Every structure is written in C-alpha cells, then in structure tokens.
C-alpha cells in the first residue's frame, strides 16, 4: 500500500511557525503521584538488552487509556511497586483522584537463571466495560473488573503464556474482547543470534484467552492459546485493532516462522507518488563521472528555478543541497541534509554551477568536487549508496557527455506526466521557510522508519504485504476519537521537510491511505528537538512534541498548529510541571470535553494536565 501525497494539500507559500505566547499558570495543572510513583527501571538491571529493546522501552507509553464516561476520564498505570493504579479526572473541574487498585503478585525467583531476569515492562490495557488485562512482563496475565468509577477492583482470572512448557517473558502491546474471548498481541525475544554479526530477532504473536466474567477459584490459572506467531528484526512501536485485524507499525516486516530461510525484508511500493504513472522511465536522481583528481555530479532542476533558491554547502565529508521551490515540479527535487560522501574532498577548491541552457525545461545543478586523495577511484558518490531502499545506487557515467542526456530523459518524462492529474503528483513542493530558517544541515533522519502491516486477527494472514517503508513523525494521540467516533487510524509521515497526515484504511483490501492534511515544515522543526520522547497529532488541528525531561529540568511540550493554507502558523511552548525532581515523562494520553482537548502527561512522580493550549 502506498502513501500518495496530494500536491494540492501542500503549502508552498509557508514561511514558518510564529510563537504564540502560552503561560504555564494558565494551561498546566499538576498533581503529585502516590509516594513511590513509577519508574522506567522496572526490570532487572542484570538484563542484557538489545538496541531495539532499549529503543522500545524509551518510547514505551506507561499511561493506559480507558473509555470515558460523560463526566469522568479514566486512565491507569502500573507503579514502581507493581501496583495497578487508576487516575480519575473530572472533565469539567479537572480535579484528579488517584486510587491504587491491585498489586501484581511478586515473581518468585527459584534459580539464578530464572526468566524473570529477562522480564518485560508490566502493562495494563483497558478492555472496556470496566475490565482490564494486566501483564507482569514474565508471561503472567491478570483479568480485573473495576467499580464505576474505578475506585476499586476485583480479580476475575489468572492466565499464563508459555513456550516449550516455560513462561514466556513478553511485552503486551494491545488486547481486545472479540467474539466472547480476549485477543492479545504480544512480542518477545526470538532465537538467540548465532554470532555477533547476526541481528537479533523478535517474535510477534497473537494469543487468545477465555473471558471469565465471574471470579475464578483461588490458584486456578488458565493457559493462553497461541493463534499465530511471526518473527522480525524490530519491536512494534504502534498497534491498533479494528474489524478483525491487527494494524502494526514496526521497523521491519514480520514473516511466518515456517519461512525460516526468508529474512524479514523491506518492501517498496510500486507506486511513485500517485495513482497515475508516466509512461517515460524516471532516470536516476543524478548522474556523475570522475577523473583521477575530481568528480562531476549533475542534478536536474526545473530551468525556471532562480539561483537564489538554490542552497549548496560542500564540506570535507558531507554535501547539503536544499532547493526552495517557486513552482510545481514534475520530477523529484534533490534534498540532501549533511549527506555523507564516499571519500573526502577539498572544500576550498570544490564549487557548484547552475546551467539553465536556454529554452530547455530542465537545467543542471552541477557539483565540481576536488578529491582530497588524488588518484583514489570512488565507487559511489555517497557513502551509504545501495545499502537500503532509499539509498539508490547510481552507477558512474563513464563518458562525461552522457551527463547531459539526463536532460532529454527528464524532458521526455515531464511531457509524459503532464497527462496525469494533480492527485498523481510527487508531492515535492517545499515550504518557503523564512529567512534564517533554511538550513540544509538539518537532521535528515528525523522520524522513525517504519512499515505498516495488517494481520488477520485469527489466522495471521498478511492483508497488505506490499507496503512501503515510511518515516513516521507522529501517531494519533491516545484517547481521542475521530469525527465518526472511532479511534483514529492515522499517521503523520515525512515528505521532504513536511508532515502530511494520512487516514488509514480499516480493511486494506478495500480502502487506501488517503492524504487529508499537511503540517508544513514539520519534519524540519522536529529535527531540532533532540530530546523528543513522544510526538502525536491531534486530528488535523495540531502536532505536539514532548520531551522526556531529566533530573535537572522538566520536559517541554511544543505545539505546532495547522497552517490552514496560510504562510504562517502558530507555535506554542509549555513546561510540563515542575523541575527535574518530578522525573522524566513516561506516558501521554488525552480526552476531549466540549471540543477542547486536555493532555494527560504522566511523569515519574507527578501527573500533569495541559488544557487550553489549542
């Protein structure tokens, strides 16, 4: 499935975000948590964690969202001492009540090598109807039923997930009541790597447990049924259940275990920016040739591009190219931010030229790079060329005159694409950032490179096997509903420096991902936020980026509003509660009351409500 950008929803006139004053006193309420609070260090320090596990734990949202009543918004978390605790918020007065409801039984360690050393985070998930499923991270699960409101709870049943007759330490990602049972999606470590060069794998499994509505006998434990199991090289960062399928975002695909010789792969969509493809073949993004002491690299640009709209920076080891577009382009425009070269160049003697060549529609931006190591033959222009789906390998053009053939090829491609409608565009229009903001050295790696997958809940069938990887900038804010009352299945992705919002299909075989709005220059501004822990979009109104904070300073929240087609949009900044003594930000959710959104932010020792910020 492709994410096709509509050029009509891009804002080429956008200049930048303008700071709109917000004061913490008017927008932020704080409530201290019970004595122990919570911590992100709830697993044994003896555990060896892979890089993917560290990333997953850093991004883990410790705040669970329950269904709202008309008057009370309900949330929950599992604290430092493994106590399941409810948070009740009066939607009108924003008064907060916090109630410890249930303490997860302690894990009995019977041997030094017990699996509890590799336990995952404890997790709570609301099933609706005042029911919750809790995971202790070691493979044990507990079904609870709370009062209305959630000021007390009773235990209904215990469950275990096992592998090879042993408890399976696992992360609970999501759970739902389905056809009289409870379905859960969990992840766990796969088989141990055979050597240092072999990447670790992680299993993704759907399990089913019985829905027990009356308290079971003391000591009775029900076994979970594994419906299907897959493996990949990453841990899911976002999971949603709807219409009998699991929607999963992760940094790898997940394959059936029976396909052991087929490693998880990255799949590119066979669609180029639109439903209608040109008949001409799109040439490489550039062409190049070299001599013993220099390189010549040519990039095609619309010949109407003013030289003042071209920004090129050549460093000893990196090149940055940023084009401020003044009109629509029918082919991809080069954008490189600190792109690493294959070898070093002499910065003082390297230069660039812009040749419009008379009446032609395609001009050439040419880099003339002097090699620092004369006589060295370069294999590629860029260091990572050919190493991934977005690192296109471009062979050297031996004859320098061949560089100019790219012009004819692109003009042929341009004439072919003219027959396409606006919906089939590449989506390369870039906001005209205000003076001083156009910095091509901005981090080009902002966002999480993920693929989206749809799996049948009962069979595990991959319902959309050919979905391209996307750099995801923001997920939906947990707890909010879309206009039709359903939880929004939507993503904000990276497109150049923009952040287009896509609404996703419920049934992938019927619907497609639709570009519905754009936050201009969102990727650009998020790239400067080095401490961002969470980023969520609030429908089409705004994107919020929240820092983790630390021991010295509390976290900040940055708000980027919808530009609504205008040249500027509002930006706000708020401090989330007290100083670093209140700990890091560990969870975020939200609710809506009379059209106003309230953010619920969970820090280690403090609950923060953010209101009246949109």
Least confident of 363-367, 396-400, 429-433: 429-433
Residue 485 class from Cβ within 10 Å (0-12 exposed, 13-18 middle, 19+ buried)? exposed
pLDDT band of 511, cuts 50, 70, 90: confident
Q: What is the mean pLDDT of residues 68-74?
A: 87
Read off the tokens for 289: 């040739």
Residue 471, strand partner residues: 449
pLDDT, residue 339, reads 83
Is pLDDT above 80 for 104? yes
Residue bearing the bigger pLDDT, 403 or 209: 209
Is pLDDT above 70 for 334? yes
What b/e string do you get for 540-566 counting C-beta neighbours within 10 Å, with b at 16 or more? bebbbbbbbbeeeebbbbbbbbbbeee
Q: What is the mean pLDDT of residues 322-336?
A: 68
pLDDT, residue 32, reads 95
Query: Domain residues of the chain, as ranges?
Result: 3-106+113-269+444-610, 287-419
Read off the tokens for 309: 């709209």
Q: What is the pLDDT of residues 174-190, one digit of tens each?
A: 999 999 999 999 999 98
pLDDT, residue 217, reads 64
Least confident of 197-206, 423-432, 491-500, 547-556: 423-432
pLDDT, residue 67, reads 73
Number of residues in the chain: 614
Could you tell me where the beta strands, DSSP code E, fall in 362-412? 362-370
Is pLDDT above 50 for 440? no
Rounded CA-CA distance 32/577 in Å is 10
Is pLDDT above 60 for 69? yes
pLDDT band of 509, cuts 50, 70, 90: confident
pLDDT band of 111, cuts 50, 70, 90: very low
Read off the tokens for 129: 């109807």
Is pLDDT above 90 for 562? yes
Q: What is the mean pLDDT of residues 72-82?
A: 94
Q: What percent of the chain has pLDDT over 70?
A: 79
Residue bearing the bigger pLDDT, 427 or 597: 597
Name the range with the highest mean pLDDT among 252-261, 520-529, 545-554, 597-606.
Answer: 597-606
CA 300 to chain centre: 31
pLDDT, residue 384, reads 75
Read off the tokens for 178: 């389905």
Name the range with the highest mean pLDDT among 22-26, 263-267, 333-337, 393-397.
Answer: 22-26
Is pLDDT above 60 for 514? yes
Is pLDDT above 90 for 446? no
Rounded CA-CA distance 137/309 in Å is 54
pLDDT, residue 192, reads 80
Rounded CA-CA distance 98/105 in Å is 21
Is pLDDT above 80 for 83? yes
Residues with Cβ within 8 Å of 530's Cβ and at least 6 positions away in sequence, in order, are none
Q: Quote the radius of gyration of the chain (alpha carbons, Å).
A: 26
Is pLDDT above 50 for 321? yes
Q: What dihedral do alpha carbons 207, 488, 453, 139 form, nearest 10°?
A: -30
pLDDT band of 434, cuts 50, 70, 90: very low
Rounded CA-CA distance 20/399 in Å is 55
Element (H, E) at 518: strand 513-519
Q: Residue 134: which of 64, 81, 87 has the closest Cα? A: 64
pLDDT band of 273, cuts 50, 70, 90: very low
Query: Which alpha helices (H) appear in 67-165, and where do they start and end?
Result: none
Residues with Cβ within 8 Å of 136's Cβ and at least 6 positions away in sequence, in order, are 82, 104, 105, 107, 119, 122, 142
Rounded CA-CA distance 404/484 in Å is 53
Rounded CA-CA distance 56/53 in Å is 5
Mean pLDDT rounded to a whole number for the chain = 81
The pTM score is 0.72
Is pLDDT above 60 for 417? no
Q: If DSSP codes are grouped into helix, strand and coil, which group holds residue 591? A: strand
pLDDT band of 301, cuts 50, 70, 90: confident
Q: Residue 132: which of 73, 46, 80, 64 has the closest Cα? A: 64
Rounded CA-CA distance 546/530 in Å is 11
pLDDT, residue 156, reads 94
333 contacts 428 by C-beta, under 8 angstroms: yes
pLDDT, residue 330, reads 58
pLDDT, residue 419, reads 42
pLDDT, residue 486, reads 47
Q: What is the mean pLDDT of residues 183-201?
A: 85
Is pLDDT above 60 for 280? no
Read off the tokens for 574: 């708020």
pLDDT, residue 412, reads 52
Q: 287-419 architecture in CATH?
A: Sandwich (2.60)
Say which CATH topology domain 3-106+113-269+444-610 has: Methylamine Dehydrogenase; Chain H (2.130.10)
pLDDT, residue 125, reads 97
Read off the tokens for 415: 């004439």
Least confident of 97-106, 410-419, 448-457: 410-419
Q: Cα dist. 189→48, 53, 151, 233, 411 in Å?
A: 12, 9, 36, 10, 51
424 contacts 2 by C-beta, under 8 angstroms: no
Hunting for tokens 């939507």 — which residue is that?
Answer: 490
Q: What is the largest CA-CA distance in the chain?
A: 86
pLDDT, residue 127, reads 95
pLDDT, residue 581, reads 85
224 contacts 252 by C-beta, under 8 angstroms: no
pLDDT band of 196, cuts 50, 70, 90: low
Q: If DSSP codes are grouped into helix, strand and coil, which group holds residue 376? A: coil
Read off the tokens for 201: 């794998």
Instruction: Look at phi and psi of residue 101 and say left if phi exceeds 0, alpha if psi is from -120 to 50, else beta.
Output: alpha
Q: What is the pLDDT of residues 123-159, one digit of tens each?
A: 999 999 999 999 999 999 999 999 999 999 999 999 9
pLDDT band of 482, cuts 50, 70, 90: low
pLDDT band of 529, cuts 50, 70, 90: confident
Read off the tokens for 244: 């009998």
Residue 285 class from Cβ within 10 Å (0-12 exposed, 13-18 middle, 19+ buried)? middle
Hunting for tokens 């940023």 — which residue is that?
Answer: 322
Q: What is the mean pLDDT of residues 8-16?
A: 90
Residues with Cβ within 8 Å of 458's Cβ and at least 6 positions away in sequence, in order, are 206, 227, 244
Rounded CA-CA distance 282/272 in Å is 10
570 contacts 18 by C-beta, under 8 angstroms: yes
pLDDT, residue 324, reads 73
Domain 3-106+113-269+444-610 shares a fold with domain 287-419: no
Hunting for tokens 């100083």 — which residue is that?
Answer: 579
Read off the tokens for 609: 């409500």
Around Cβ 48, how many Cβ atoms within 10 Å?
A: 7
Is pLDDT above 60 for 488? no
pLDDT band of 237, cuts 50, 70, 90: very high
Q: Residue 137: which of 113, 161, 154, 158 has the closest Cα? A: 161
pLDDT band of 379, cuts 50, 70, 90: confident
pLDDT, residue 409, reads 53
């Amino acid at each position: 499935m492709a994410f096709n950008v509509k050029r009509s929803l891009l804002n080429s006139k956008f200049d930048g975000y303008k700071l709109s004053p917000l004061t913490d006193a008017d927008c932020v309420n704080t409530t201290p948590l019970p004595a122990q609070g919570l911590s992100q260090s709830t697993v044994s320090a003896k555990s060896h964690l892979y890089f993917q596990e560290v990333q997953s734990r850093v991004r883990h949202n410790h705040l669970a969202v329950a269904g709202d009543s008309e008057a009370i918004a309900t949330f929950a978390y599992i604290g430092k001492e493994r106590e399941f605790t409810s948070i009740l918020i009066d939607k009108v007065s924003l008064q907060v009540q916090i109630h410890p409801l249930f303490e997860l039984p302690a894990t009995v360690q019977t041997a030094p090598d017990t699996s509890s050393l590799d336990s995952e985070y404890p997790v709570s998930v609301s099933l609706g109807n005042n029911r919750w499923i809790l995971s202790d991270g070691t493979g044990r699960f507990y079904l609870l039923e709370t009062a209305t409101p959630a000021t007390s709870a009773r235990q209904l049943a215990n469950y275990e997930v096992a592998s090879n007759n042993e408890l399976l330490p696992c992360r609970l990602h999501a759970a739902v009541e389905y056809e009289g049972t409870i379905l859960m999606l969990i992840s766990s470590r796969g088989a141990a790597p055979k050597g240092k060069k072999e990447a670790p794998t992680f299993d993704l499994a759907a399990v089913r447990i019985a829905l027990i509505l009356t308290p079971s006998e003391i000591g009775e434990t029900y076994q979970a049924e594994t419906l299907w199991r897959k493996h990949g090289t990453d841990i899911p960062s976002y999971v949603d259940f709807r219409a009998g399928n699991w929607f999963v975002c992760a940094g790898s695909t997940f394959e059936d275990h029976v396909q052991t010789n087929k490693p998880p792969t990255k799949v590119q969509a066979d669609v180029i920016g639109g439903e209608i493809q040109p008949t001409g073949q799109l040439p490489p993004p550039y062409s190049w040739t070299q001599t013993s002491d220099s390189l010549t690299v040519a990039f095609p640009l619309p010949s109407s591009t003013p030289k003042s709209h071209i920004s090129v920076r050549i460093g000893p080891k990196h090149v940055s190219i940023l084009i401020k577009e003044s009109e629509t382009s029918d082919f991809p425009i080069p954008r490189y931010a600190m792109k690493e070269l294959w070898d070093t160049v002499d910065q003082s003697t390297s230069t660039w030229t812009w040749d419009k060549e008379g009446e032609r529609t395609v001009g050439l931006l040419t880099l003339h790079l002097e090699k620092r190591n004369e006589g060295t033959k370069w294999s590629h222009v860029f260091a990572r060329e050919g190493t991934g789906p977005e690192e296109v390998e471009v062979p050297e053009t031996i004859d320098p005159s061949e560089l100019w053939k790219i012009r004819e090829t692109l003009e042929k491609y341009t004439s072919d694409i003219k027959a396409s409608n606006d919906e089939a565009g590449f989506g390369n229009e870039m906001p005209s950032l205000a003076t001083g903001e156009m910095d091509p050295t901005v981090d080009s790696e902002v966002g999480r490179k993920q693929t989206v997958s749809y799996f049948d809940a009962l069979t595990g069938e991959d319902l959309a096997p050919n979905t391209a990887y996307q750099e995801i900038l923001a997920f939906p804010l947990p707890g909010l509903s879309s206009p039709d009352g359903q939880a929004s299945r939507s993503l904000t992705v990276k497109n150049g420096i923009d952040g287009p919002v896509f609404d996703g299909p419920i049934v992938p075989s019927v619907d497609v991902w639709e570009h519905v709005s754009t936050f201009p220059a969102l990727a650009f501004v998020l790239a400067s936020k080095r401490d961002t822990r969470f980023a969520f979009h609030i429908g089409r109104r705004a994107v919020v980026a929240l820092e983790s904070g630390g021991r010295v300073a509390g976290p900040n929240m940055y708000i980027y509003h919808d530009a609504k087609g205008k040249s500027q949009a509002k930006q706000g900044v708020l401090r989330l509660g007290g100083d670093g003594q209140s700990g890091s930000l560990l969870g975020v959710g939200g609710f809506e009351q009379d059209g106003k959104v309230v953010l619920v932010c969970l820090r280690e020792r403090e609950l923060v409500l953010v209101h009246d910020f949109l």
